[in-house]
A = this chain, B = another copy of it.
Amino acid sequence: MENFEFFNPTRIIFGRDTEKKIGKILEKDDVEKVLFVYGKSSIKETGLYDKVVESLKKEGIEFIEHGGVKPNPVLSHTKEGIEKAKKYKVDAVLAVGGGSVIDEGKTIAVGAKTNKEVWDFFRRKREIKKALPVYVILTLAATGSEMNGFAVITNEETKEKLSISSEHIFPRVSILNPELTFTVSKQYQAYAAVDVLAHVIEYYFSGQYCPNLQNRLIESIIKTVMETTEIILNEPHHYNARAEFMWASTIALNGLTRLGIKGGEFPNHMIAHSLGAIYDLPHGACLSIVIPAWMKWYKDKNRTQFERFAKEIFNANTAEEGIDNLKAWFKKIGAPVSFKDAGVPEKDMDIIVDNAYNIAVVWDMAQKYTREVLTEILKNAKD
């Protein structure tokens, strides 16, 4: 087991009706004015917006609205949020939504406390020293952003999709009510499932040594994600399935699953980010295209683990069968597994490779993921 450090101070409030507590939670923390960050109009349609407003008003908490966050949150809109946070001198950020809203909220929290260019933190030119406290009400279980110190933003001008990582952006409190995900469409549930699986399998496969305990924890999450997704696709209002999926998605990327693993990288996310930056495809859809392609390329570098995966998850015998089964499962739940499925033109291959390579440079992975290697991987995703 490799040396590691683990720290995760986010307080989770999980369960039915918990969103009504937001006013009291903020009041207890002496928050007087928040930037209320959200996405499209869906939180208004579901009634969540009204509930949040009611809870805030009840405790006398002022709020400045910052709606309209996009699914792949963009830098320009984030900067507008930073300006508002500064102008109105808010004490905290309240992000009500999925990973995109939380990530934009976290970035605003960082930007509000500095006069420096916020994109510099993403380019890793500058270290994050402070941020406003972030509070979350989660409406889409997928990214794990509700309990980690990461945020991903797309710079539309440069077509870069990059991330920040800091202890200062762990949400202070995250409210997780599985009922708020009842309205997540089948398509987005499929993407979410792929995203969660991707979070746990990156290190599991790409690490040089994965302790058995970690193998087991990761496989527990994989089994739960697959089991509950199948239930959810049939019964979108199944509370326990939504709840288990939600909590599985949170612990998949809260730091726990990667502890003690030797080596390990996020190659699938790296390539998927490039697809997401260029085509504005949902993150999960990018991943379901990339993962089987990457696995096909990588499998012989860690055959034992691929065989373990095949056995544990699909009761299959070979690495190849494990990959085929996973690809078939992605198809079954309605996630694309090729460029063709997602309508990505094959002629764009070089553009995608270039973009992915640029991320590889920022992530310090360019030595392994050269343009040639990236081309080889992406060719596996043609159809």
Contacts and interface: CB of A to CB of B under 8 A. Distances in A.
Residue among A3, A18, A251 with the most chain B CB within 10 A?
Answer: A3
Interface residues of A, number: 39
A367 interface: no
A201 B213 CA distance: 17
Contacts of A223: 212, 216
A378 B225 CA distance: 41
B1 A5 contact: no
Contact of A5 (B13, B244, B260): B13
A278 B340 CA distance: 72
A4 B251 CA distance: 14
Interface in A207-248: 211-213, 216-217, 219-221, 223-224, 227, 239-240, 243-244, 247-248
Contact of A2 (B15, B213, B224): B15
Nearest to A178: B1
A57 interface: no
Residue among A178, A239, A243 with the most chain B CB within 10 A?
Answer: A243
A11 interface: yes
B244 A1 contact: yes
Nearest to A7: B11
A6 B14 contact: yes
B5 A12 contact: yes
Contacts of A5: 11-14
A6 B147 CA distance: 11
A244 B211 contact: yes
Nearest to A10: B7
A243 B372 CA distance: 39
7 contacts: A1-B240, A5-B12, A6-B12, A8-B8, A216-B223, A219-B220, A243-B260
Given A5-B11, A256-B256, 15 more contacts: A1-B178, A1-B239, A3-B16, A4-B15, A5-B12, A6-B14, A7-B10, A7-B11, A8-B8, A213-B244, A213-B247, A216-B223, A217-B220, A243-B260, A247-B259
Interface of A: 1-16, 18, 178, 211-213, 216-217, 219-221, 223-224, 227, 239-240, 243-244, 247-248, 251, 256, 259-260
